[in-house]
Structure 1
Amino acid sequence: MTSLSSSPSLVFTVQRRQPELVAPATPTPHEVKLLSDIDDQEGLRFQIPFFHIYQHKPSMEGKDPVRVIRDALSRTLVFYYPFAGRIKEGHGRKLMVDCTGEGVLFIEADADVTLDQLRGSLQPPFPCSQELLYNVPGCDGIVNCPLLLIQVTRFKCGGFVFAIRVNHTMVDATGLVQFVSALTEMAQGAHQPSILPVWQRELLLARDPPQITCNHREYEQVPNTKEGTIISYENDMVQRSFFFGPTEIAFLRRLVPRHLGQCTRFELITACLWRCRTKALQLAPEDDVRMMCIVNARARFNPIIPLGYYGNVFVYPAAVASVGKLCENPFGYAVELIKKVKAEVTEEYVRSVADLMVIKGRPLFTTVGSCIVSNLTRFGLREADFGWGKALYAGVSQGGVGPAFHGVSFFMDYENEKGEEGVLFPIYLPSKAMERFEKELGDLFSGDLKSTFRSCIVSNLTRFGLREADFGWGKALYAGVSQGGAGPAFHGATYFMDYENEKGEEGVLFPIYLPSNAMERFEKELGDLLGGDFNNNQPTKSDETPMFMRSTL
């Protein structure tokens, strides 16, 4: 587990041109289109920003990403013309799109730095987010505002950032990826998107008459009667991002019982986040907490929602537990709750949500004691290619959904500085709670680490003559394993190998993995046993920060 804090120390300047409206390249229908009753719920009435970061590509020398993307945008809007309109609100808070063809906001910008200079800041929380996506005054509302805001910022190195802010009532993650994919195709010369957009929001309108047929604990109206909740720390909120790679996932998987062995990476990280966040907030044991998992329901319909549909087709069922039960039970308890609540999502569940919106006035989800997670790792955000290749980073620019609700975390594909692929997620917490959250994560992983080393395996490779393998260049100077352990799954494996040291002495070499403090004690034990006369090489840091690997002769 790695905590990533963007460095705010680098100061740079962005020169922006005046925002402009980009309209469809050819005339489009002027009509009014209803949003679905999933689209226009209160919990989706906000704008969400995404950043795509691209490095310089020599073969694109002379091509201007601003011009390429602006031109592609106008042609893409011919197919996605509702985005060029404006949302209106009708009777019963019903939202609809007036397809006026006015256009979407576009900003051209230049930064006086290189991407390498920003390398440590290219993940949430972006300290430069306001520079890379300017909040045009009067354009961040839901009704009568542009539905898309795009800024393309060129960097001195030839790289650029494509930043997009979208009205969430129009699209979910699937829909946004579909739109951006269409935009990249048009940027690379296509005459139309490979997947044509489908509106058909009537598919998810409430039934007549509406009827709530499922239990929706995500919409329970819970009064905020407690002091010291996140809301009361509005001016003391901090945001950090955390990276879970293969090692962390392997650790978490060992914490669950056998019957949960097939749980997903998402379920493991979500359970970990929920428990550690709850402990960090120091809530009363009798309080209920909710973990709402966003579930894409497209494939749960019969027939399935048509390919090309870009509206919202997700729900966020809530796993509910008391603070005491969540924190005192084993880790598998949280995983099981999350698996169970995800499995509840059916076509009927989604239709019940749509009906609830009409019956109860399109309420906001429960915010008290709640956390929401959205898994963006399956959408291939980084694959969006305007001609400059795969994005270095693609995902949200921050956690939360602005000042309305801080308890949303997005899981995104990420490659860390070691080249490891894993999951990055930002989280908002009050500053003291963030300190406790990091400590809880550290304690969780170090505790699991201790249990890992209760077992040890040794393999004697000295009798196999590994060094005798001769390709014509003679005997090998060294032949054997490249490291101890057995990858992230198990560190307690040690291999004995023939070795000749610098003095010309033949002996046995064996690598060993241990936590750093345990390694110091191990060396002391060897020293005490052998009178302090033993030889070990310099420590080699392993991929896990608290670990060292040494070889001893």
Structure 2
Amino acid sequence: MCDAPGIVQFMNAVAEMAQGATAPSIQPVWQRELLIARNPPRVTCTHHEFDEIVETQSFITNNPLHKMSCKSFFFGSTQVSSIRKKLPHHLLTTAGELCENPLEYALELVRTAKANVTEEYVRSFIDLVVTKGRPHTTIVQSYVVSNTVRVGLYMDYGWGKAVYGGLAKIFERPSLSATTFYIQVKNSRGEDGIMVPMCLPTLAMERFVKEVHSVLNDQSDGGPMSTFINSSM
């Protein structure tokens, strides 16, 4: 088991050795002490990712995958620039607050959450995992986003540069939460960009498509609308 940076480092090492290297350029390090809890363990931070929430209504149970609408949206540099122009410079919240506030409010929440992940937060996280017996993270009624755009799964094993490196399948395994991924791709015109697969109830997808087109077609800020393709992944 490993995380994305770990598998990339391993695959890069294999690629280097496949092309004649006798050892990987980045040597493996076995420093298990970095992941060992303190003695005694001290949970010093609030970890909402382990909040115990009762599942009252399952997204997947009420919306079987075969009844969902799945589409993949492509965002190139033009579309990303168009979105950024709408974000003036200007945090746990509710769906209502997100809907009632402008987009920069939600982005500020994400930025603040990332800034809170300090070294002490990580140590507290490890201590909590040990004291609670490796509890599952809370994903009840959550929307999970995994950004794989800059993971770097483009190795050369001596056969040339990879055409694609990333997820093999999407929209296949049921989950307790709605999940999507940001994937680095090249469209039919050769433009590099980000593909965002989405799987939503049909009516919600129709509304989402209109909202995306509205944002990217707003001539006051420029930028053509994003394209999307029906996905069979």
SS in structure 2 at match of 1:451 = coil
Q: Size of the alignment, in residue pairs? A: 226
SS in structure 2 at match of 1:258 = coil
Which one of 207, 214, 225 corresponds to residue 443 of structure 1?
Answer: 214
Aligned amino acid, residue 389 of structure 1: G
- What is the rounded CA distance, in whole Å, between the counterparts of 2:170 and 2:120 in structure 1? 30
Q: Which residue does 1:513 correspond to in 2?
A: none
- What is the rounded CA distance, in whole Å, between the counterparts of 2:162 and 2:147 in structure 1? 18
Contact 1:206–1:358 (Cα < 8 Å) also in 2: yes
- Asked which structure has the greater RCO (Cα within 8 Å, sep 6+), the reply is 2
SS in structure 2 at match of 1:379 = coil
Change over 3 Å in CA distance of 1:432–1:398 after alignment to 2: farther
Shift in Å, 1:194: 1.6
SS in structure 2 at match of 1:394 = coil
Which one of 371, 375, 389 corresponds to residue 160 of structure 2?
Answer: 389
Change over 3 Å in CA distance of 1:345–1:388 after alignment to 2: same
Shift in Å, 1:391: 1.4
Contact 1:399–1:408 (Cα < 8 Å) also in 2: no
CA deviation string 1:278-311 (max 9, x = no partner): xxxxxxxxxxxxxxxxxxxxxxxxxxxxxxxxxx
- What is the rounded CA distance, in whole Å, between the counterparts of 2:103 and 2:27 in structure 1? 44
Check if 1:333 corresponds to 2:163.
Answer: no
Q: Which residue does 1:197 correspond to in 2?
A: 28
Which one of 191, 194, 198 corresponds to residue 423 of structure 1?
Answer: 194
Contact 2:183–2:196 (Cα < 8 Å) also in 1: yes
Q: Which residue does 1:398 correspond to in 2?
A: 169
| 1:451-470 correspondence to structure 2 within 5 Å | 451-452=220-221
- What is the rounded CA distance, in whole Å, between the counterparts of 2:10 and 2:74 in structure 1? 28
Change over 3 Å in CA distance of 1:387–1:405 after alignment to 2: farther
Check if 1:206 corresponds to 2:37.
Answer: yes
CA deviation string 1:482-521 (max 9, x = no partner): xxxxxxxx57xxxxxxxxxxxxxxxxxxxxxxxxxxxxxx
Q: Which residue does 2:230 correspond to in 1?
A: none
Which one of 178, 183, 199 corresponds to residue 9 of structure 2?
Answer: 178
Per the normalisation by structure 2, the TM-score is 0.85
Shift in Å, 1:188: 1.5
What are the ranges of 5 or more consecutive residues in structure 1 without an aligned counterpart?
1-169, 260-318, 453-489, 492-542, 547-553
Question: Looking at CA atoms only, which structure, 1 or 2, has the larger radius of gyration?
Answer: 1
- What is the rounded CA distance, in whole Å, between the counterparts of 2:127 and 2:43 in structure 1? 6
Shift in Å, 1:234: 3.2
Change over 3 Å in CA distance of 1:404–1:324 after alignment to 2: closer
- What is the rounded CA distance, in whole Å, between the counterparts of 1:421 and 1:231 in structure 2? 36
CA deviation string 1:363-416 (max 9, x = no partner): 21111221222322223222x011122211111123479334453333222221
Q: Which residue does 1:411 correspond to in 2?
A: 182
Contact 2:180–2:197 (Cα < 8 Å) also in 1: yes
- What is the rounded CA distance, in whole Å, between the counterparts of 2:134 and 2:165 in structure 1? 31
CA deviation string 1:167-213 (max 9, x = no partner): xxx21111000111111112222222221222322311221211211
Contact 2:74–2:226 (Cα < 8 Å) also in 1: no
Which one of 51, 69, 83 corresponds to residue 220 of structure 1?
Answer: 51
Contact 2:68–2:202 (Cα < 8 Å) also in 1: yes
Change over 3 Å in CA distance of 1:372–1:364 after alignment to 2: same
Q: Higher helix proportion, which one? A: 2
Change over 3 Å in CA distance of 1:406–1:400 after alignment to 2: farther
Quote the RMSD (CA, aligned, Å). 2.5
SS in structure 2 at match of 1:175 = helix
Which one of 72, 77, 82 corresponds to residue 246 of structure 1?
Answer: 77
CA deviation string 1:221-252 (max 9, x = no partner): 111223x6334323434543222111211111
Check if 1:188 corresponds to 2:19.
Answer: yes
Contact 1:398–1:426 (Cα < 8 Å) also in 2: no
Aligned amino acid, residue 366 of structure 1: T
Aligned amino acid, residue 361 of structure 1: G
Aligned amino acid, residue 435 of structure 1: E
Q: Which moved more, 1:234-243 or 1:415-424?
A: 234-243
Change over 3 Å in CA distance of 1:225–1:250 after alignment to 2: same
Contact 1:224–1:368 (Cα < 8 Å) also in 2: yes
SS in structure 1 at match of 2:220 = helix
Percent identity of equivalent pairs = 47
- What is the rounded CA distance, in whole Å, between the counterparts of 1:366 and 1:354 in structure 2? 16
Which one of 364, 367, 370 corresponds to residue 139 of structure 2?
Answer: 367
